[in-house]
Structure 1
């Protein structure tokens, strides 16, 4: 899972030719640390069809503001440069995958 910044967000997320799941997180957020290994697994398992990126909201407040992220962790799914679904809070891997698959089918 690659890290993005406010400066690299457009290139790493908005200009990708496949869907991108962005993890908006912060160092002080315990649920963010709980979901990180799940996201690493998903990034590895879905590498061909889904890009997974993470952005530290304390260090990159512009992206957090631009996408109106109010709670952490927020996982936001982007397709063709547009946010299509947000998932707020940590959840088990099976539930997250089911929600992702549902969102990707609806696109």
Structure 2
């Protein structure tokens, strides 16, 4: 498997969820998306930019709703795009919907400030 490039967005699946999210050294932002979802297509470049800008601070992964229905169900995802932040192996915050970069930054910062989110 090729080495992970910091700041890049990798896929997360049921099979690698423990390694990539629960055992991650840094907080993790999960983007739930679907290929048919127009708002997902619009927000994906923003999420990729956020991943690059916050490399070393937050890992960013994405899960395809259609390919990973169990993972989506586990997180109560009923609409996409949806986001879940994990810190210390536990959910620290979540939100649904496409948003501009500054709003995503605010949501992420708020989740990372949540009680129990510190590592």
- Range of TM-score over shorter length: over 0.9
Structure ID, larger Rg: 2
Give the TM-score normalised by the residue count of structure 2.
0.86
Residue 91 (structure 2) pairs with residue 80 (structure 1):
no
Structure 1 residues not aligned, in runs of 5+: none
Q: How large is the RMSD of aligned CA atoms in angstroms? A: 0.9
**Structure 2 Cα separation of the partners of residues 84 and 71 of structure 1:** 19
Residue 51 (structure 2) pairs with residue 40 (structure 1):
no
The structure with higher relative contact order (CA 8 Å, sep 6+) is 1
Q: Deviations over 1:17-37 (max 9, x none)?
A: 210000011111111111100
**Structure 1 Cα separation of the partners of residues 17 and 64 of structure 2:** 12
Q: Which moved more, 1:78-87 or 1:35-44?
A: 78-87
Task: Decide which of 23, 41, 55 is 1:15's aligned counterpart.
Answer: 23
2:21·2:28 contact (CA, 8 Å) conserved in 1?
yes
Provide the aligned length of Structure 1 versus Structure 2. 107
1:6·1:61 contact (CA, 8 Å) conserved in 2?
no
Deviant stretches of 4+, over 4 Å: none
C-alpha deviation, 1:102, in angstroms = 2.0
Structure 2 residues not aligned, in runs of 5+: 1-8
**Structure 1 Cα separation of the partners of residues 47 and 35 of structure 2:** 16
Task: Decide which of 6, 14, 17 is 1:6's aligned counterpart.
Answer: 14
